[in-house]
Amino acid sequence: MTSFSDSRPRRSVLYVPANSERALEKIPSLDCDVVILDLEDAVAPEAKDAAREAMRHFLRESRPANCGIVIRINPLASEWGTEDLLAARAARPDAILLPKVDGPRDVLDADAALDEMDAPPGLALWAMVETPKAIFNLGATAELGRDPAARLGCLVAGTNDLIKETGVLATPDRRYLVPWLLQLVAAARAAGIDALDGVMNDFRDMDAFESECIEGRNMGFDGKTLIHPAQIEVANRIFMPSENEIAAAEEVVAAFAQPENAGKGVIAVGGRMVERLHLGQAERLLAKVGR
The pTM for the full model equals: 0.89
204 phi and psi, to 5 degrees?
-90, -25
Looking at the structure, do residues 248 and 131 belong to the same domain, yes or no? Answer: no
Looking at the structure, do residues 273 and 156 belong to the same domain, yes or no? Answer: no
Looking at the structure, do residues 212 and 255 belong to the same domain, yes or no? Answer: no
Looking at the structure, do residues 150 and 33 belong to the same domain, yes or no? Answer: yes
Looking at the structure, do residues 260 and 198 belong to the same domain, yes or no? Answer: no
Range of the domain at 257: 243-288
For residue 23, count other CB atoms closer than 10 A to its CB. Answer: 20
Residues 102-118 have pLDDT tens digits of 999 999 999 999 999 99
Find all residues with CB under 8 Å of 111, minimum gap 6, and list them.
125, 149, 150, 151, 152
Identify the CA nearest to 68 among candidates 149, 124, 144: 124
Average pLDDT value over all residues in the chain? 94
What number is the average pLDDT over the span 58-75?
94
pLDDT surpassing 70 at residue 194 = yes
Per-residue model confidence (pLDDT) at position 1: 36
User: The domain that contains 109 carries what CATH number?
Assistant: 3.20.20.60
Looking at the structure, do residues 204 and 279 belong to the same domain, yes or no? Answer: no
pLDDT surpassing 70 at residue 213 = yes
Residues 156-169 have pLDDT tens digits of 999 999 999 999 99
123 phi and psi, to 5 degrees?
-75, 110
Looking at the structure, do residues 277 and 227 belong to the same domain, yes or no? Answer: no
Looking at the structure, do residues 60 and 140 belong to the same domain, yes or no? Answer: yes
Looking at the structure, do residues 212 and 262 belong to the same domain, yes or no? Answer: no
Residues 228-272 have pLDDT tens digits of 999 999 999 999 988 898 999 999 999 999 999 988 999 999 889
d(CA 173, CA 60): 42
Total domain count for the chain?
2
Looking at the structure, do residues 130 and 247 belong to the same domain, yes or no? Answer: no
pLDDT surpassing 60 at residue 123 = yes
